[in-house]
């Protein structure tokens, strides 16, 4: 069933685990995510980026997610990941998204506050929670701890994505600055989110969860598994693309299962 992210994430924070936010842009990826979640009885957040929306259209993605959620016993969230404008957020809300993220972290601090607050006001009118971001991912400019309290109080965001040293994609020698995370938790009580979860050492992720992270985004690892499975499928003497894509689905299921176990959300649905 399709649900709001707020209660799920608050429960994750209370019980010291994290919920995976897994990106999809096609049927095969969504099927893999749902299959892994159902096998391990884990709540799920399925997310789409603006690039995914440009590729597959928000109406198609929403219809896929809503139908999958309606047929599943799991609590499933449909989330906008890294929305860049009020227009994109509005479009997603119109199409049944149950969680949205606005990412204005690349803008000056005051502009970030202004735009994030506008999104919060819009989404909260429909009882949809909002994630904001403070600190740019992958730039080595970590979240400024001194700005956290003001940002949260003036925007009214439900969750905060923080920059701790991770990056989109898989980078060499990625590690999290857990000292900054500890300082952030002293400034706010709202749930904290980690982006760029692919490529991080497992121990860093476990430590981050123990110190307050309760939502973790995964994209690159899933796309890498899709590509590897596709290579396996194309190597077979097979002309039916549905049979070929089964290899991609199987490889993606393994990745999502591993992340669910790592995050501690198994048997939490």
Residue ranges making up the domain that contains 90: 5-263
Total of domains in the chain: 1
- CATH assignment of the domain containing 223: 3.20.20.70
* Tokens coding 74: 């799991």
| Predicted local distance difference test score (pLDDT) of residue 169 | 45
The model's pLDDT over 186-231, given as tens digits with 9 standing for 90+, comes to: 999 999 999 987 778 899 999 999 999 999 999 999 999 999 999 9
Query: For 169, which DSSP code?
Result: S
Instruction: Say whether 81 is catalytic.
Output: yes
Q: Which residues are annotated as a binding site for dihydroxyacetone phosphate?
A: 169, 196-198, 217-220
| Predicted local distance difference test score (pLDDT) of residue 16 | 96
Is pLDDT at 168 greater than 60 in this prediction?
no
Residue 269 covered by a domain: no
> For the chain, what is the mean pLDDT?
94
End-to-end CA distance of the chain: 11
* Exposure string for 180-205, b = 16+ CB within 10 A, e = fewer: bbeebbebbebbbbbbbbbbbeeebb
Return the top range by mean pLDDT from 32-36, 160-164, 170-174.
32-36
Residue for token pair 């994109």: 88
Q: How far apart are CA 194 and CA 214, in angstroms?
A: 8
| Predicted local distance difference test score (pLDDT) of residue 37 | 98
> What Å distances lie between residue 116 and 86, 141, 167, CA to CA?
9, 20, 22
- What's the farthest any 2 CA atoms get from each other in the chain? 60
Identify the band that residue 45 occupies on the pLDDT scale cut at 50, 70 and 90. Answer: very high
Residue 268 covered by a domain: no
Q: Which residues are annotated as a binding site for Zn(2+)?
A: 82, 103, 133, 168, 195
The active-site residue, picked from 81, 158, 204, 251, is: 81
Is pLDDT at 249 greater than 50 in this prediction?
yes
Residue 42 covered by a domain: yes
19 DSSP β-pair partners = 215
Is pLDDT at 81 greater than 80 in this prediction?
yes
Is pLDDT at 139 greater than 80 in this prediction?
no
* Tokens coding 230: 């596709």
Residue 179 covered by a domain: yes
| Predicted local distance difference test score (pLDDT) of residue 172 | 54
Residue 169 covered by a domain: yes
Q: Which residues are annotated as a binding site?
A: 82, 103, 133, 168-169, 195-198, 217-220
């Amino acid at each position: 069933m399709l649900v709001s992210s707020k209660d799920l994430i608050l429960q994750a924070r209370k019980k010291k685990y994290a919920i995976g936010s897994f990106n999809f842009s096609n049927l095969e990826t969504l099927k893999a995510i749902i299959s892994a979640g159902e096998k391990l009885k884990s709540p799920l957040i399925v997310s789409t980026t603006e690039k995914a929306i440009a590729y597959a259209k928000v109406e198609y993605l929403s219809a896929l997610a809503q139908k999958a959620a309606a047929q599943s016993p799991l609590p499933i969230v449909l989330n906008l990941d890294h929305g860049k404008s009020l227009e994109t957020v509005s479009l997603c809300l119109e199409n049944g998204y149950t969680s949205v993220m606005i990412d204005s972290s690349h803008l000056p601090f005051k502009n970030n506050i202004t735009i994030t607050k506008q999104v919060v006001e819009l989404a909260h009118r429909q009882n949809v929670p909002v994630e904001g971001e403070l600190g740019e991912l992958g730039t080595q400019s970590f979240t400024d701890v001194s700005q956290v309290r003001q940002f949260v109080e003036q925007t009214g965001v439900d969750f905060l994505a923080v920059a701790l040293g991770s990056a989109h994609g898989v980078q060499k020698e990625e590690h999290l600055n857990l000292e900054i995370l500890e300082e952030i938790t002293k400034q706010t009580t709202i749930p904290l989110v980690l982006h760029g979860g692919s490529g991080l050492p497992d121990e860093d992720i476990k430590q981050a969860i123990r110190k307050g992270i309760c939502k973790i985004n995964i994209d690159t690892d899933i796309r890498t598994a899709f590509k590897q499975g596709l290579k396996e499928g194309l190597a077979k003497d097979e002309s039916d693309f549905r049979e070929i894509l089964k290899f991609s689905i199987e490889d993606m299921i393994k990745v999502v299962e591993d992340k669910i176990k790592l995050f501690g959300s198994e048997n939490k649905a």
